[in-house]
Amino acid sequence: MRQKPTVLAREIVATSRLFCVEELKLRFSNGVERTYERLVSKGTGHGAVMIVAMLDADHAVLVEEYCGGTDEYELSLPKGLIEPGEDVLAAAERELMEEAGYGARQLEHLTELSLSPGYMSQKIQVVLATDLYEERLEGDEPEPMGVDKISLRELSSLAQNPRFTEGRALAALYLARDLLTQRGMFLP
* 93: amino acid identity, one letter: E
Residue 40, pLDDT score: 83
Q: Which of 41-45, 58-62, 85-89, 151-155 has the lowest mean pLDDT?
A: 41-45
Lowest mean pLDDT among 4-8, 74-78, 138-142, 151-155: 138-142
User: CA dihedral defined by 181, 183, 184, 186, rounded to 10 degrees?
Assistant: -40
Amino acid identity of 123?
K
Report whether pLDDT(43) > 60: no
Write down the pLDDT at residue 130: 97
For the sheet with 102-114, list strands across it. Answer: 79-81, 48-53, 123-134, 102-114
Reported pTM: 0.88
Strand order in the sheet with 19-27: 6-15, 19-27, 33-41
130-146 as b/e, with b when 16 or more CB fall inside 10 Å?
bebeeeeeeeeeeeebe
Answer yes or no: is pLDDT of 1 > 90. Answer: no
- Confidence class for position 108, pLDDT limits 50, 70, 90: very high
Q: Which of 97-101, 107-111, 119-123 comes out lowest in average pLDDT?
A: 119-123
In the chain, % of residues over pLDDT 70:
97
Are the beta carbons of 81 and 58 closer than 8 angstroms?
Answer: no
Specify the pLDDT at position 45: 63
